A and B are shown apart, each in its own frame.
Chain A
């Protein structure tokens, strides 16, 4: 079965640079979620979108923004990167916001 696709899988950036992470949900899923997992930490919810509208917002820094496009894929834009942004970024998708969330393989971001 098709799963959530994330790209890139690995990304190395320097401080103050920008990064864009992409997420392609499972076909027919209309809700996407972004989570950040720091080293040795549990995943923390950042933001979610349902039918291209922001649905819920968590601990997402103001330097980050995200959107969901008409084909339901989502992008997380990260600006003025800081060392502390180094983490695994997971995207998850579900059929709607009440259904089970399925996670993608993640993007490992390293900020130097």
Chain B
């Protein structure tokens, strides 16, 4: 199975601050990566797919980048509504696997 490792496990950011979350795959996943946001008591929401494509309706302050085994999610200007847990997911092979999550809080 492809292991997905996220870092950091948690972080806090001030309003307007730039936030970056990392995701490392145990093997090359050829940009087959998605990012999700999950708020307490809710289901995950797809933010980014194909490593860098923004899902419809997602604010443009979210962006994704990376290749090979290293990927990142950037929030260019932290907003209150961005609090939550962020997960990466590889879409290259079965079983589909997720990162352990990064909890983002407002400072």
Interaction A to B: no
Measured CB to CB, the residues of B under 8 A from A are: none
Measured CB to CB, the residues of A under 8 A from B are: none
